[in-house]
Structure 1
Amino acid sequence: MHPKKKAILLALCISVLLMLAKFIAYFITHSNAILTDALESIVNVLASGFAFYSIYLATLPKDTNHPYGHGKVEFFSAFLEGTLIGIAGIIIILKSGYDLLYPKPIFQLFEGATIIGATGIVNLIVGYFLIKTGKEHRSLTLEADGKHLLTDAVTSAGLVAGVILIQLTKIYWLDSIVSILLGLYIIYNGYQLTRHSVGGLMDESNTALVNSIIEIMQQNRKDPWIDVHNLRAQQYGADLHIDCHITLPYYFDLNEVHQEISGIDKMINGHTEHKTELFIHADPCLPACCNYCKMKLCPVRQEPFRAEIKWDINNATKNQKHFDQ
């Protein structure tokens, strides 16, 4: 089984067990704050279930209907998880607000806090494991699920602290206040996760990723690579797709052009952690390129080389040669 599938299947099984433990804690205590954590665990189980399915799809090979692969389903998985988290937070706030107006007795808070504390520790360990595995295999779904579990662990820690405070002070309406605060925190994290996934679904530019590609090309720059522009990068699951225009000497024949483009392909794939597919369009140089072209013994140079234009995100991503700026 693929390591990503093993990781998410482990998370799913653990999420089911922790959900049962949290509901046991709620039935022991009748605490709204503990119910908050139990309801979020339902989201954990649903999200892990869909995450398992999305990872199954993402690991399928490309086919006729999906020439870029199935990796984008991971953005949808993260979106669904963020939405479920937000809905859980809203339900928690509504339930806690009602019980703040119409309070009911709570019991055995220390026993409940012990159970919740133990589940928080487990979520912390599993969350870090999922994030580590997600980064190793470049899976947004695993990272999103891991971050969700870390959020759950933080929620559990705050819950335990709140329950202990309630037990010590005997101010039982604090139970609903703690629950409302945790609900707001859960909604915020759901928004963050949803925002990131929507950006991926709409091919929002990944500035850090584009910067790293441009830096690799700049550091390994060769004289025939006169100009690079209209550079764009899209990530589909673990795969990265890059397209750009490269300006080469116009007198290069087709074999030389192919050799330079193949060199760029090998260079980027040798320096990035992603499996990268490149689509490179070759442009012929123009006389206006001469002043920043470093080609030695160029037979058609019309003016001397003056200075190299350093590639950065401001000029390499524009759809124009640098002399047009």
Structure 2
Amino acid sequence: MKEQKKIILISLVTGIVLMAAKFSAYFLTSSNFILTDAAESIVNVVASSFAFFSIYLSALPRDENHPYGHGKIEYFSVFIEGGLIMIAAVIIIVKSIYSMLYPHDVHELLTGAIIIGVTGVINGCLGYYMIHKGKILPSITLDADGRHLVTDMVTSFGLVAGLLLIHFTGILWLDSGLSILVGLYILFSGYKLLRKSVAGLMDEADFLILTKVLQVLNDKRKEEWIDIHNLRAQKYGNELHIDCHLTLPNYFDLNKVHEEVSLVDKMINTEAGVKTELFIHSDPCLPECCHYCSMPNCPIRSEPKRIEIEWTMDKVMPNKKHFAS
């Protein structure tokens, strides 16, 4: 968590400096187009401030009131960031429409373009770095903040191109017209962050992670593991929680059951690439399982194995053994 805090702090300080530079460019040029970027930089600073707090809170240990930890706060951070971006976009669009109806002169556009271009390069470099670190650590907050900065870089480069176009053509309404287009793009970016945060808060299944877990289970599958069902996953910050039922031969004693369950736990944590807490309920096999059970020399087998069932999403997620499919 110390590394995450350090990265967010760098993002916060950088955001404050770049915000000052962008507003200086706005006051120099009186361009609504530049104001779109300056207004979004306020969101960068506020979002980074909340992200810093959310990372601090998510690092706190579990307690009686939060038995799964405080990792969900990161989704609130992303929600607030997305909401602020959308508010900024609406303000930009309204201001640009007003300026299109009541135009005013703009000046020093080349100087403004240089300032915005430099801030765009800095935001882009920092954004890609944060996305990279967000995947390694992993941290949804770093990833969201990084993607926001990359979005800011894209809008800044578009802004530079627009400013040059206005400068060389002298068409003043382009300043407000292009601002509206950028505002719509920023609005869509904010919506995507909101969608991602709501998905996390509602415990929407992360099929990318589940597919990786299933690949590990299929690759390392043992004959004793007759089937896995009722598989569910939740994310709390950078931790994954998985519930599932594991069907084992009904003649296994408690020590053997514990051994197999622990092996599944260790295997997923070692090879799935994400820190995982597993709650595995062990089920005894039934005679109806025999037709897909691979257990050799089974003393209670009622019929020979007839089919091979691959553990796919549609097989492992329902709360029923595979014979009931």
Question: Per the shorter chain, which TM-score range?
Answer: over 0.9
Corresponding position: 1:320 with 2:320: yes
Q: Equivalent residue of 2:318, what SS?
A: coil
**Unmatched segments (≥5 aa) in structure 1:** none
**Equivalent pairs, count:** 325
Structure 1 counterpart of 2:159: 159
Q: For residues 160 and 75 of structure 1, what CA distance do their matches in structure 2 show?
A: 33
Aligned partner letter, 2:160: V
Aligned partner letter, 2:34: I
| 1:306 Cα deviation after fit | 1.4
Structure 1 counterpart of 2:85: 85
Structure 2 counterpart of 1:60: 60
| 1:122 Cα deviation after fit | 0.3
Q: For residues 5 and 49 of structure 1, what CA distance do their matches in structure 2 show?
A: 11
Structure 1 counterpart of 2:26: 26
Q: Deviations for 1:130-168, whole angstroms, at most 9, x for unmatched residues?
A: 111111111000000000000000000000000000000
Structure 1 counterpart of 2:183: 183
Q: Deviations for 1:47-71, whole angstroms, at most 9, x for unmatched residues?
A: 0000000011111122221111111
Q: Which range moves more in the overlay, 303-312 or 3-12?
A: 303-312
| 1:273 Cα deviation after fit | 2.0
Corresponding position: 1:143 with 2:143: yes
| 1:275 Cα deviation after fit | 1.2
> What is the 5 A alignment of 1:78-227?
78-227=78-227
| 1:255 Cα deviation after fit | 0.7
| 1:235 Cα deviation after fit | 1.1
Corresponding position: 1:237 with 2:237: yes
Q: For residues 150 and 256 of structure 2, what CA distance do their matches in structure 1 show?
A: 52
Q: For residues 315 and 230 of structure 1, what CA distance do their matches in structure 2 show?
A: 9
Q: Which range moves more in the overlay, 202-211 or 141-150?
A: 202-211
Q: For residues 205 and 268 of structure 2, what CA distance do their matches in structure 1 show?
A: 19
Q: Equivalent residue of 1:298, what SS?
A: coil
Structure 1 counterpart of 2:248: 248
Aligned partner letter, 1:206: D
Q: Equivalent residue of 2:64, what SS?
A: coil
Q: For residues 62 and 138 of structure 2, what CA distance do their matches in structure 1 show?
A: 17
Q: Equivalent residue of 2:16, what SS?
A: helix
Q: Equivalent residue of 1:66, what SS?
A: coil
Q: For residues 39 and 219 of structure 1, what CA distance do their matches in structure 2 show?
A: 51
| 1:207 Cα deviation after fit | 1.0
Q: Equivalent residue of 2:246, what SS?
A: strand
Structure 2 counterpart of 1:11: 11
| 1:215 Cα deviation after fit | 1.3
User: Normalising by structure 2, what TM-score?
Assistant: 0.99
Q: Equivalent residue of 1:205, what SS?
A: coil
User: Normalising by structure 1, what TM-score?
Assistant: 0.99
Aligned partner letter, 2:250: Y
Q: For residues 74 and 15 of structure 1, what CA distance do their matches in structure 2 show?
A: 20
Q: Deviations for 1:162-208, whole angstroms, at most 9, x for unmatched residues?
A: 00000000001100001000000000000011001100000001111
Q: Equivalent residue of 2:260, what SS?
A: helix
Q: For residues 216 and 308 of structure 2, what CA distance do their matches in structure 1 show?
A: 16
Q: For residues 109 and 159 of structure 2, what CA distance do their matches in structure 1 show?
A: 11
Q: Equivalent residue of 1:320, what SS?
A: coil
Q: Equivalent residue of 1:252, what SS?
A: coil
| 1:233 Cα deviation after fit | 1.0
| 1:272 Cα deviation after fit | 2.0
Q: Equivalent residue of 2:301, what SS?
A: coil
| 1:324 Cα deviation after fit | 0.4
**Unmatched segments (≥5 aa) in structure 2:** none
| 1:307 Cα deviation after fit | 2.0
What is the RMSD of the two structures over their aligned residues, measured on CA atoms?
0.8
Q: Equivalent residue of 2:191, what SS?
A: helix
Q: For residues 96 and 4 of structure 1, what CA distance do their matches in structure 2 show?
A: 37
Q: Equivalent residue of 1:241, what SS?
A: strand
Q: For residues 203 and 281 of structure 2, what CA distance do their matches in structure 1 show?
A: 21
